[in-house]
Chain A
Amino acid sequence: MKGRIGYTTIYLLVVLACGFVLNGCSPKDDASVAETETTQFIIKNKGSDTMVNLAQAWAEKYTEVSTTASVEVSGGGSGTGVAALINGTVDIANCSRQVRPTELELATQNTGKAPQEFIVGYDALAVYVHHDTPLNKITITQLAEIYGENGTISKWNDLGILHSDCPSDKIIRISRQSNSGTYFYFREALLGTSRDFRIGSLDLHGSKDVVEVVGRTPCAIGYSGMGYATSHVKMLEVAADPDSPYYPPNLENVLAKTYPIARPLYMYSLGEPIGEVKIYLDWILSAEGQKIVEKLGFVPLESKSE
């Protein structure tokens, strides 16, 4: 009797111990394997969805440039990048809006390192409509009335066009989820700081999704980076107000600052960049890094492109 219980106990303990050992060891194993295989420094890079393709392209190209460091990129939105910066879990945060002073202060307090700001390129926010929409240009004032709270424009007819592919004539507003830098920038560009977006827009999760949905939906209007354009959508020419000329979103107009909704793209390093992080940032700002900016449909920094 006693013997049997003893065996059962031992058996149970062995099973439990195996469980613990397996659970406890597997992550450690992975880590040590990763360490021995790549003695590289890993730069953690996170944030803006607008910039995630760009950051990915940089990271890929960088594997050919550097043998001592590699870059790990993830998206999630500018807000996610800033949160990671505040928690000190990234080396570089991507941000399609400027980080607020309160957030910078919080990051400095939490991590003891003051984030440093770098402008790494420019992005023009294009206003997209379905490619069959009989509309070619729009003013910021009209956009504000479409997207803003208590706005007066809700039908295509209000814009003075007859949209035969949209039987309900209702403008379907496509927007972004509220932790996106694009959302904040577009709201500020249209409505300033005193007015909010009207509720009832479709808040999608990514720059690419917006263009995709607009491309399938004749009634829709949306905003996203100009690099995301496809053949199913049309980019509108935009004027700052009814009296100003209209400009299409392109390289020249962004550099000449005539296109009204263009913004800088930021990278924030945690503290003064040192070592591999500094080498990486310098490379991004070099002619080679800026070439990739242009290739992805963004606008490179002026000084380097000339």
Chain B
Amino acid sequence: MNNLATKMFLVLTIIGAVSGGILAGVFHVADPLIQANREKELKEAIFVVLPEAKDYKVLEKEVDKEKITVYKGIDAEGKPVGLAFIADGGGFQGNIRIMVGLNIDYLKLKGIRVLEQNETPGLGNRIKEPQFEDQFKGLEIKPKVEYIKYRKPEKPNQIQAITGATISSDAVVKNINNAVAKVLKNFPQEEVLK
């Protein structure tokens, strides 16, 4: 009996150790690639939401132990064209991560790009389609971004929600409003223009 217990112990330990070793090896190779993919996607998104930008600068600030990062887009002549930042928040199922582009006049959005989402296929996940994303180009952010159902938007700060996916559309709008408010508060225009 004692013999069996030792054997069980040994076999499981060896299998665990070997598996762990293999995983560590694969992780070592794969992790830089995974990080690079994330990075690349993020960079591409910055230039999508700030089309005039040729380059960008990373601005960081720590507020209440939370790090806020914005990317200041710069055009060919070195003039700032706007800010890009991530709006992260809950959706209908799981998280929605959106790259938001804010015009340097601090009044309008330049565009958005949905980076990650787990919304319902065919309904909520249409938030990543150009027809939806393009509505945010030139959208006014004051007093705040709103959505309207079944009709064409009437005000310059409105978008049309996706039929059958009000919750997802609402989540996008909410996340953007939250992120914009945070950036406006912590990165005042004078400071960014400097």
- Binding partners A and B: no
Residues of B within 8 A of A (CB): none
